[in-house]
Amino acid sequence: MHPSVHGVRAEYRTDSPFVGVNRPRLSWKTETTAPNWTQAGADIEWRRGEATAVAHVDGPDSVFVAWPFASLLPRERGSVRVRVRGADDAVSDWSAPLEIRAGFLGEGEWHAKFLTVPEPADIGQPVLLRREFTVREGLRAATLYSTARGLFQVEISGVAVDEERFKPGWTAYKSRLVHETNDVTGLLAAGPNAIGAALAGGWYTESFGFHGEARPFYGKYPSFAAQLVLEYEDGATEVIATGDGRWRAAADGPVTASGIYAGEDHDARRALPGWSSPGFADATWIDARTDAAKAIVPVPRTAPPVRATEELPVAEVITTPSGRTVLDFGQNLVGHLRIRVSGREGDTVVLRHAEVLEHGELGVRPLRHAKATDRYTLAGNGSETWEPAFTFHGFRYAEIQGWPGEFDPADVTAVVVHSDMDRTGWFDSSHAQLNRLHENVVWGMRGNFLSIPTDCPQRDERLGWTGDIQVFSPTASYLFDADGFLASWLEDLALEQEANNGVTFVVPNVLEWAKTPAAAWADAAAVVPSVLYERYADRGVLERQYPSMKGWVDQIAALAGERRLWEGGFQFGDWLDPNAPPDDPFQAKTDHDIVASAYLFRSSRLVAGAARLLGLDEDAKHYEAYAEEVRAAWLREYATPAGRIVSDTQTAYALAIMFDIAADADLVARLGGRLAKLVEKADHRIGTGFVGTPLIQDALVRTGHADTARALLLQTGVPSWLYPVTMGATTIWERWDSMLEDGTINPGQMTSFNHYAFGAIADWMHRTVAGLAPRDPGYRRIAIAPVPLAGLDWAATEHETPYGRATVRWEADGGQVLVRATVPPNTTALVELPGREPEEVGSGEHTWTIADPRPATEPKA
């Protein structure tokens, strides 16, 4: 069969033709049944109207191929097609055309000013803005560029311009603001038209902080800016921009209060039908006020948008011991409720959200100061349907108060909301609890990847903690196409690093005290770009982030001084190891200095590798040499030749093994033996926190203790990965025991039932239990190396790599293990199976049969 080309994309976004750069990199995938297929070259066609240009690319490159044509101009549009030629000289047909549109503005083209709520107004009171205008005959194209310090949605003549939510997302507002780009040609007609914007404070006006001391950080009022560019057939262009003195504003719309943490209040009696349509009577409105805050020219958004992606019905209606009505949706999720209700004018329905029940009632203590409550006041005009627009909640349960008449659960739906990334990774096995654990990881990522990678989605926090994503980024990059999402967040990390003289605990940074260097947290500056290169072959991220990576290591090297050890000072350490008391998550068993200096070694090596890749040879030599000095210092200070570490903990040994601090094979074996003993001594219960959890299973398998890893994985007692599953968890918990065995919530003041950090185990499940991993950047060379575990009859994984779908599945039966794998075209795989010599294979379907390497008798858990 001739090859065929599909999956053509420009830069990161697959949801929109708009690109945010003038030279978008191109990627494509090839399908063919021909075995061992590799690309010998490709033709790329760029068509603009009747003009066509074709560029030829020699070799196998098909991921992030440099734009081979002239740079795009603002609002330029065209289509790209690709055809490939294999090493066998077979040539594909042209791919389907991919529309590409320049979604950025030219230098000096941004003329809009930020408009805000008229004063005086209540803080938290959303505002409506509108402007009428006339479109003459012969409109060819209309492009809307819009942004806000806050959250917004735009309507034109009563129709929303898109289905996106929480626009423009949360960025480092003081340094970077992104704009949306919409083609609104189809919403305009010759004659009178109107544009309206609904504006709420969102993250911009939110109060941030802990222990009841939250304070506003950015601004008092939200503001909105936009410009609509009208292009006519006669070549004329008209720009309608905020700040031209013709925008009107009102703060008396139906949304009376809105907050990320508090929830949203909506009074349907205050509805303003037609407010975004021409001819609306706005005599009571006043002229919009220009925001005096420093203006930032926005840049185009490159991350995927936030959208509603799924809806869940009520699974059960519960009457609590106190007589309250609580709805169970069967899944801990992030989003909001949509209700359909009939009643009298002035009736108010109150919706309270929580993740768990305690003593049969809504468990709201973990929310701390977040009210997570929505209110809808009825207009009284028959059936009314409503959902909040500018808030989100983390919940499985919702308490309904004030419902008029008889309640029907069909009238309430849970709407799942998150950044709409393409799903790319799956896992399945014969072990039902393991499958549920993996599903919990997926749901945890969905809930916490909402504009930024948050720690939790429910309480008065929801911040972009760097430590959480540092440990979870490999898992994230397998489950979803997270490259564009994380690349955008990393831009903010670098900006906050520059503004705060170091990498902050959270990005965007809204905590004045969160600027102290902290190992494993700030190391996200070096780790996350390296993961994106490993998983997506995204060299561009390394190029953009290299100054940030280097700056972080230089900062810590200065602190480490001549001893080459990072000692003393504040550290999170192995945060939330299971021995830490409920109210003191810092108190991990592993010495903080051991963790800090191990990360100094790791990040130094990552910077050296990035420098080598980018052709910065002097930098590469410097950081390679520095890393070796740190390695020697760490081993000299903390490890003995006999294979003991002064901090005799699971995490300490896992760090030494998996960061390659211990390079001598005999020493690695001794360290692994001690690690296995510690796990066995703990009755195969987990003893690691945020730092050790992503490493321990790999460390055990690497040093020949797969059976110990198996017992640790399948342990169901507390603490373990499967304990929450036995307790009915549907997401990953923040603590190993967020809920105690008696069904009560952990007494600590920091307890979330939706944190993804401990879900980093899923990456090991993909790479080792099922056996699929990247061997070379972007999976151009794949590692197929399943480790069949006792207690499982089979395991399987699929991953949509940048080159196409790769799969691995093993099944054990009758003393043999059958392994099946799919290797995508234009890639190869290194196959390492127990009892066989390593083997290189090309693309296509492959099977192998090996003797079952597992013990003949089931090991004890």
Condensed to tens digits (0 to 9), the pLDDT of residues 498-531 reads 999 999 999 999 998 889 999 999 999 999 999 9
Reported confidence tier of residue 814, pLDDT bands at 50, 70, 90:
very high
- 561, 598, 601 from 565: Cα distances, Å: 7, 9, 9
Angstrom distance (rounded) from CA 92 to CA 31: 10
Average confidence (pLDDT) over 418-445: 98
In the prediction, which pLDDT does 295 show?
A: 82
In the prediction, which pLDDT does 420 show?
A: 98
pLDDT at 683 over 60: yes
Reported confidence tier of residue 752, pLDDT bands at 50, 70, 90:
very high
Average confidence (pLDDT) over 104-133: 86
pLDDT at 706 over 60: yes
Reported confidence tier of residue 208, pLDDT bands at 50, 70, 90:
very high
In the prediction, which pLDDT does 2 show?
A: 83
Listed in sequence order, the residues at least 6 apart from 258 whose beta carbon sits closer than 8 Å to its beta carbon are 124, 126, 200, 201, 202, 264, 265, 388, 389, 390, 391
Angstrom distance (rounded) from CA 446 to CA 480: 9
Reported confidence tier of residue 437, pLDDT bands at 50, 70, 90:
very high
- 556, 602, 840 from 599: Cα distances, Å: 10, 5, 34
Structure tokens at 84: 């490939």
pLDDT at 124 over 90: no
Average confidence (pLDDT) over 326-352: 98
Average confidence (pLDDT) over 483-490: 98
- Could you tell me which residue, 692 or 858, shows the higher pLDDT? 692
In the prediction, which pLDDT does 390 show?
A: 97
Angstrom distance (rounded) from CA 432 to CA 323: 35
Angstrom distance (rounded) from CA 677 to CA 165: 50
Angstrom distance (rounded) from CA 537 to CA 695: 23
In the prediction, which pLDDT does 856 show?
A: 73
Reported confidence tier of residue 857, pLDDT bands at 50, 70, 90:
low
In the prediction, which pLDDT does 252 show?
A: 85
pLDDT at 860 over 90: no
**Catalytic pick among 45, 132, 491, 734:** 734
Residue 374: what are its φ and ψ, rounded to 5°?
-110, 150
Which of 282-296, 712-726, 764-778 is predicted with the least confidence, judged by mean pLDDT? 282-296
Angstrom distance (rounded) from CA 439 to CA 387: 27
Reported confidence tier of residue 123, pLDDT bands at 50, 70, 90:
low
Angstrom distance (rounded) from CA 686 to CA 787: 20
In the prediction, which pLDDT does 139 show?
A: 98
| DSSP-derived pairing of the beta strands 18-19 and 98-102 | parallel
In the prediction, which pLDDT does 120 show?
A: 56
| DSSP-derived pairing of the beta strands 4-10 and 26-31 | antiparallel
pLDDT at 358 over 60: yes
In the prediction, which pLDDT does 116 show?
A: 87
Average confidence (pLDDT) over 764-778: 98
- Could you tell me which residue, 251 or 155, shows the higher pLDDT? 155
Alpha-helix residue ranges (DSSP H) falling in 537-638: 539-560, 592-613, 617-638
**Catalytic pick among 461, 491, 534, 798:** 461
Average confidence (pLDDT) over 390-395: 98
Structure tokens at 576: 């939330």
Mean pLDDT over the full length of the chain? 96
Angstrom distance (rounded) from CA 81 to CA 96: 6
In the prediction, which pLDDT does 859 show?
A: 53
According to DSSP, the residues that pair with 299 across neighbouring strands are 178
Q: Is 461 a catalytic residue?
A: yes
pLDDT at 469 over 80: yes
Best CA proximity match to 664, nearest among 691, 638, 635, 637: 635
Angstrom distance (rounded) from CA 787 to CA 713: 13
Q: Do 17 and 99 meet the contact criterion of CB atoms below 8 Å apart?
A: yes
DSSP label at residue 766: I
Reported confidence tier of residue 1, pLDDT bands at 50, 70, 90:
low
pLDDT at 471 over 70: yes
Q: Do 734 and 458 meet the contact criterion of CB atoms below 8 Å apart?
A: no
pLDDT tens digits, 587-640: 899 999 999 999 999 999 999 999 999 999 999 999 999 999 999 999 999 999
In the prediction, which pLDDT does 192 show?
A: 97
Question: Quick count: other Cβ atoms within 10 Å of Cβ 54?
Answer: 13
pLDDT at 13 over 90: no
Reported confidence tier of residue 586, pLDDT bands at 50, 70, 90:
confident
pLDDT tens digits, 61-111: 999 999 999 999 999 999 999 999 999 999 999 999 999 999 999 999 999
Reported confidence tier of residue 122, pLDDT bands at 50, 70, 90:
low
State the helix-helix crossing angle for 592-613 and 524-536, rounded to 10 degrees. 50
In the prediction, which pLDDT does 599 show?
A: 98
Average confidence (pLDDT) over 639-655: 97
Reported confidence tier of residue 664, pLDDT bands at 50, 70, 90:
very high
pLDDT tens digits, 272-307: 999 999 999 988 899 999 988 888 999 999 999 999
Q: Do 25 and 540 meet the contact criterion of CB atoms below 8 Å apart?
A: yes
Angstrom distance (rounded) from CA 367 to CA 376: 21
Reported confidence tier of residue 121, pLDDT bands at 50, 70, 90:
low
In the prediction, which pLDDT does 571 show?
A: 96
pLDDT at 360 over 70: yes
What Rg value do the Cα atoms of the chain yield, rounded?
28
DSSP label at residue 55: E
In the prediction, which pLDDT does 278 show?
A: 96
In the prediction, which pLDDT does 583 show?
A: 86
Is there a cis peptide before residue 508, judged by omega within 30 degrees of 0?
Answer: yes
In the prediction, which pLDDT does 282 show?
A: 84
Structure tokens at 617: 């040879």
5's enclosing H/E stretch is strand 4-10
Angstrom distance (rounded) from CA 504 to CA 496: 7
Angstrom distance (rounded) from CA 445 to CA 455: 10
Average confidence (pLDDT) over 168-181: 97
Listed in sequence order, the residues at least 6 apart from 335 whose beta carbon sits closer than 8 Å to its beta carbon are 308, 392, 393, 414, 415, 416, 417, 418
HEC sequence for 431-483: CHHHHHHHHHHHHHHHHHEECEECCCCCCCCCCCEHHHHHHHHHHHHHHECCH
Reported confidence tier of residue 852, pLDDT bands at 50, 70, 90:
very high
Cα angle 447, 451, 452; round to 5? 80
